[in-house]
Amino acid sequence: MSAQTRALLIAMLGPVLQAFGVAWDLLDHGVFPSAHAEQITLAHILTGPAHLMMATGFAVAVVCIPLALRVAVSPPEDFERPRRASVPARDFFDLPPEAAEAVE
């Protein structure tokens, strides 16, 4: 995956959450209005699930957009997995000379 694709996916996390929150709010108040729809109070705005999802999306965007910019300008070497040093495989029965003498 290229760095630009990674950056785009990271940067879109917040706006996608906000879009789900807006869609939820529009469905809740516009398409399927309930009896308490006319009583929109400050408590409803602060604690409503759709509004909380929009606020979470905004907070995620504040964190993820600078991260996405950093990913976009990073060289490809930064995304490679570190290689472990190759260690020769030892047989279970390969004993050091001191241990071999103790066994005999």
pLDDT one-digit tens code per residue, 44-89: 778 888 899 999 999 999 998 888 888 888 887 887 777 776 656 5
Radius of gyration of the chain (CA): 28
Calculate ∠ Cα 52-55-60, nearest 5°: 125
62 residue type, one letter:
V
- Higher-pLDDT residue of 96 and 91 is 96
Residue ranges covered by each domain of the chain: 3-79
